Amino acid sequence: MKPRKSLGQHFLTDANVADKIVASFRVDSAAPVVEIGPGTGAMTGRLINRFRDFSAVEVDDRAVEQLRSNYSNITLFHENILRFDWKSLFQKKGPLSVIGNLPYYITSPILFSILDQSQFFDKAVFMIQKEVAERIAARPRTKAYGILSVQTQVLADVSYEFTVSRNVFFPKPKVESAVISLNFLHPDLSCHFRNLKKIVRTAFNQRRKQLKNSLKSIINDKPAVNFDFTHRPEELTPEDFVELTILLEENGCLPS
C-alpha cells in the first residue's frame, strides 16, 4: 500500500520496534483498547492477540479494506479520528486505553482532543515526533516546557518511553520519533479546565514576559489576587497554574 502524503503516512516496518511499543502499553488484557490509525497493521495483530476487547479507528479506505481482509474478527471504525465519538464508546465500554502511531501533521490536534475528553481514558501510548514528545514530558524552567507540557501533566502522569529511529519507517520521515505513555489521573481540579487552558495559552503566548504583563488583560490589576505575578510562565509548575486559575476564578477574573 503506497503511503499517502496527504494523510501524513509513514508506515512502521520494523517488527522489533512494534513489539517494543506494544510491550510499553501496560494495560490489563480485559481492558477496552482502541488503536488510532493502524494503517497497514504493524501493531494490530499483536494487539488483537493480547486484548479481548479491541477496536481500531482508521480513515484510509485502502487500509480499512486490508485490515478487514487480514483480521476477519476486527472491530473497525472507518472514521476521521478528530471527529470520533469517544463519549459514545466510553458509555458502552467504560474507561478506554488508546495506542497509536500518530501522523505528525495532526499530532497536536489529536492530543488536545484526547486531553479535552480525558475523563473517557485510563491510558494512552503514542508514537509521535520526538520534539513533541520532549515538549509533553518537559519540566519547568526548560526551553521545551510550554502549553502542551502543562495541559498534559495536569491531567496525566507522563513517561518518555524511548526514541525511535527514522530508519524504521517507509517512507523515512525527516525527524526522529519517540514513544510516550500517559496515565490519566482524573484529578479534581477545583477549577474549570477551559479557564486553565486560557491562562496557560495566554501566558505562554508571551513566554518571556512576566505574568503581570502577559495576563494583564485577565487580571485587570486586581490587588485581591494573592499570587506572585513577577514569575515568567516557564517558572510555574502545572500545579501552580491550577492554583492560579482557581484564584482568578474566585476573584472574578474568569467565569466560574
Tell me the three state secondary structure of residue 254.
coil
Tell me the three state secondary structure of residue 174.
coil
Q: Is residue 33 part of a domain?
A: yes
Q: Model confidence over 205-214: pLDDT tens digits?
A: 999 999 999 9
Confidence at residue 221, expressed as pLDDT on a 0 to 100 scale? 63
Q: Which domain holds residue 243?
A: 193-250
Q: What CATH number is attached to the domain comprising 239?
A: 1.10.8.100
Q: Both 102 and 136 in a single domain?
A: yes
Q: Model confidence over 91-110: pLDDT tens digits?
A: 999 999 999 999 888 999 99
> Final residue of a domain: which of 153, 184, 215?
184
Q: Both 29 and 148 in a single domain?
A: yes
Report how far Cα 176 is from the mean position of its chain's Cα atoms: 18
Q: Both 208 and 115 in a single domain?
A: no
Mean pLDDT, residues 131-150: 97
Q: Both 54 and 149 in a single domain?
A: yes
Q: Both 152 and 221 in a single domain?
A: no
Q: Which residue has the cell 512502521?
A: 12
Number of domains forming the structure of the chain: 2
Q: Both 155 and 217 in a single domain?
A: no
Q: Both 124 and 141 in a single domain?
A: yes
Q: Is residue 209 part of a domain?
A: yes
Q: Both 28 and 114 in a single domain?
A: yes
Nearest Cα neighbor of 154 from 116, 127, 126, 180 is 116
Mean pLDDT, residues 216-224: 74
Q: Both 175 and 208 in a single domain?
A: no
Question: Do residues 176 and 163 lie in contact, with contact meaning Cβ atoms separated by under 8 Å?
Answer: yes
Confidence at residue 209, expressed as pLDDT on a 0 to 100 scale? 95
> Final residue of a domain: which of 135, 150, 184?
184
Cα Rg, the chain, nearest whole Å: 20
Q: Is residue 255 part of a domain?
A: no
> Final residue of a domain: which of 160, 184, 208?
184
Tell me the three state secondary structure of residue 158.
strand
Average pLDDT of the chain, as a whole number: 93
What is the reported pTM?
0.91
Q: Is the pLDDT of residue 1 over 90?
A: no
Q: Is the pLDDT of residue 255 over 90?
A: no
